Structure 1
């Protein structure tokens, strides 16, 4: 199952998700981005930055609605960040709005946080760990297990508040009850469904964004709902878990004495910097509260696009929490809260020097100077990009300078092999660009051409007309007297440049061929007429001769006839 993925039809090759993915868990194949599940930590940052809304989140909405339709007892575990994210007049209105959807009960996940806090107390009091890294954020847990596995021994061996709460609810209401976690976190879904170590505690995940849409579809106005109580005792200070430093405040609310220096770190980059420093060694006796989302869970990716600002959300939450009050009445003696973390490092092959060189050459990088390291592809250096190509995470064409160079190269080739003269002339009649054929006919270099005006070479009457009227001239035949050429002229106005595209297709050879063909036809007609005239003359002469001969023959034969007749009479 992929918690996050991409809609191919919407992905537009911008690579913004690659640039913003710190662990480079996004591969690009056939110009489409895809999530690499074994690399992904489900932080959801790609959802936040995608300008095309091409990402998809695997929703459990249909599953939850099915539970309710079938009459299954379903309980909501709501993340305490709702206090600063959702809109209401009184917190209890959220409870009523959720119950109107059909949920049996609503309890705060902070109830589970209280159990986790007690486990942290024990670790701090025992003092057996050199450093303690909190394990409430599933993205942080994935980050360490996959990319900093040497730090696994520093991870607090405790489940997250969500898992603790799910187990507590099933312990209270029975194993057949369905528990739905409601919050702003996408990574919680992978933790609840995809992590076999904690499966069964949570049956489905809904985000704040999804629940608000559901309320609107059902016509539920939270502001018109009753102010109903939560189904759990007040978790008090543990409601601060969603904001940066909230876990530390919860831990300090106890009377436990310890020798650990406590510091909170939030934001993926800051977490990675911390882990890199911890890998070097030298840091001892620290309790690190870590969260991938800047500002804490209250700024989770499943609410970021529509909630109010982080500052306002943080203020709203803090105003409603009893800071120094430890939770009372929350029992979970039979709840399993231990979790064993492990090395799940990502293994990627690296190219040899020869393979690296081949890929760099394919990217148009032949020297160190060619390696611009612009980062447009999403990788910090050209060599990092080449490594990603070798690992089939990236494609050659993702390199922006390479793509531009290729496009310019192809464009220049097309322009230069075109047998027609092509020029761009601006409103001042200055030549702004010209192809190889135009330079040859004008008898100037490109540098010289770009410093000259078109009227220095050609009659600019038609060009001036198009610049003034913006009405194009297409396929007009004319003679360029200065060049002794016959051409087909086309002039197109380019509004964005306030210039015109001028093309002259040389048809001089064709016109001469037409003239020669015409002359040949006329010569042939003249010769045919002469033959006809001569034939008529000969025919007339023959006719005349035949007439004379016929007359003579008649006279002779008549005489012969008469002589024969007269001899018989005698």
Structure 2
């Protein structure tokens, strides 16, 4: 397996992606690119923190499934040892320890071990390093995510990484010395990064394969080993347990932190890559110079992405504490045990793996900013909505084809508003009645007026206003009034030719264009519309019969020598309408000319 070609640890699943791009915004090292609507993990930048996996509720980012390798080992003739990270009690809750052991036995595991002794051995080695008077600056190296971050993004600090193997490697080597048989070891990890770390050539032969706790849960569930009859409900017999004396989480010596004076800046404790980034940047700029850095990507391994992700950190700590404090449990000192164990090789080394990012010129960055709508660097927002701290950083990523301006929320919002304005300007239908709107009517009026001027064809324009429509709204309400307007529009459309144009002009006013119709015929059309509306009686259709049928006031203008301009033509019809409205309801007036 060490030399086998493996799939990437974390990959993007386009089928499950909802294109929210939360992974892009939350990735602490910007190892995800989004171009042309597709997301992709930039493997050379990725530090395997798994934040993209936990942030994506749709399953758009997937962790490589290594359970087939475990099943293959279980089918072999070699005894297989399950090496569990000490956080397994919280990770596999509500399984009890006896239930976990029985479940693993049912899967075919030969035995179950934890990494506790490995953590104690590693912590003891750290104690020796920290106690040396000639010790140089040293950084904790048990967290593979933090180590990868240093190697890739602060490569000059790589020599400061403590040259100590992670606890599970120490434990695996101890198992191989204590077991007489040629066992296979499956390490069950609280994080994803160790699934790749086990293949480091320095660890060759220690662990056969690593899976995370979510994969182990899937194996157990798939085997259906936890049934009402098959799994014990009682805690089972207590056995002697090892007392963790030297280490805190994942093999770091508690003495280093317990003896620390909070005002003493020789020891810095950082959790999370953002804090680590700030600390290392401050160190390189000379702002601080700690002797020891305790760095983890999570709040301890119990906070790892594969440790019961549905539970809070506080709940998981309570579960672990309750299991540790079970009554009747006998504790054995690990210091006394370590004294009789065989010697284990704990030394490792690290190599810098700098991420090489092309640095565009200032002119190129300025051009990219201009493409994003920023006139100059003084115009940038630096809002961080894209996932980058500054617009210049985002522009640099765009030049490196790691992003696009579609990820800039303020820019996309401006573009959306402009598109909405352009769309509104292009709209031709009234959304309420389905008739042509005023914009479309004005365009057609210009066209028909120009045709009249050139060819002398008759043309009439009619403006219609529903009499006392305010009272209709008062009686029927706004929704009822809208239904009446729609019904009136339908009545008008049914009475007109296909060559005529009826539009909702404004509020309760309608406009009708009658090509080829002279003044007398236009007057007849107006009377026809009045009669049709009276017969349809939209008010009665709404259940209101206390007042008479709807009536309309109509103003008509016919194109001629005095009315050859579209705007003048419209104003003449409007003046005729106002004259009709002033004369009382149900009136028709003709404009002069």
TM > 0.5 fold call: yes
Q: Name the counterpart of 2:136.
A: 130
- In 1, distance between residues paired with 2:464 and 2:27? 56
- In 2, distance between residues paired with 1:284 and 1:141? 19
Q: Name the counterpart of 2:492.
A: 478
Is 1:236 aligned with 2:244? yes
Please state whether the residue corresponding to 1:387 is helix, strand or coil. helix
Q: Name the counterpart of 2:336.
A: 328
Distance 1:503 1:236, change over 3 A: farther
Q: Name the counterpart of 1:42.
A: 48
Give matches, 1:126-525, under 5 Å. 126-173=132-179, 176-193=182-199, 195-217=200-222, 218-220=224-226, 224=233, 227=236, 234=242, 236-237=244-245, 240-242=248-250, 247-249=252-254, 261-281=266-286, 283-284=288-289, 286-293=291-298, 295-307=299-311, 309-318=312-321, 320=324, 325-330=333-338, 333-368=342-377, 370-418=379-427, 420=428, 422=430, 459=466, 467-468=479-480, 473=486, 476=490, 478=492, 487-488=501-502, 508=513, 511-513=514-516
Please state whether the residue corresponding to 2:344 is helix, strand or coil. coil
Please give the TM-score of this superposition, normalised by the length of structure 1.
Answer: 0.71
Shift of 1:468: 1.7
Distance 1:477 1:387, change over 3 A: farther
Q: CA RMSD in A?
A: 4.1
Shift of 1:387: 0.7
Distance 1:459 1:111, change over 3 A: farther
Please state whether the residue corresponding to 1:76 is helix, strand or coil. strand
Does structure 2 retain, via aligned residues, the 8 Å contact 1:477–1:486?
no
Distance 1:411 1:173, change over 3 A: same
Is 1:102 aligned with 2:105? no
Which segment is superposed worse, 377-386 or 310-319? 310-319
Between structure 1 and structure 2, the one with the greater Rg is 1
Shift of 1:502: 8.9
- In 1, distance between residues paired with 2:179 and 2:258? 29
Does structure 1 retain, via aligned residues, the 8 Å contact 2:441–2:503?
no
Structure 2 runs not aligned, ≥5 long? 1-6, 446-462, 494-498, 522-593
User: For each residue in 1:223-278, what CA deviation from the matched residue of structure 2 results, as whole angstroms up to 9, or x when unmatched?
Assistant: 53774789x97262357425xxx723166899xxxx99544322222222222222
Please give the TM-score of this superposition, normalised by the length of structure 2.
Answer: 0.69
Please state whether the residue corresponding to 2:81 is helix, strand or coil. strand
User: For each residue in 1:302-359, what CA deviation from the matched residue of structure 2 results, as whole angstroms up to 9, or x when unmatched?
Assistant: 125223x212322443462799954432466453221111211111012212211221
Does structure 1 retain, via aligned residues, the 8 Å contact 2:93–2:308?
no
Shift of 1:4: 1.2
Which segment is superposed worse, 401-410 or 131-140? 401-410
- In 1, distance between residues paired with 2:464 and 2:390? 48
- In 2, distance between residues paired with 1:249 and 1:95? 29
Which segment is superposed worse, 327-336 or 205-214? 327-336
- In 1, distance between residues paired with 2:103 and 2:384? 47
Is 1:11 aligned with 2:20? no
Does structure 1 retain, via aligned residues, the 8 Å contact 2:118–2:170?
yes
Instruction: State the number of aligned residues.
Output: 469
Please state whether the residue corresponding to 2:49 is helix, strand or coil. coil
Q: Name the counterpart of 1:84.
A: 90
Does structure 2 retain, via aligned residues, the 8 Å contact 1:28–1:393?
yes
- In 2, distance between residues paired with 1:503 and 1:248? 81
Does structure 2 retain, via aligned residues, the 8 Å contact 1:422–1:438?
no
Shift of 1:424: 7.8
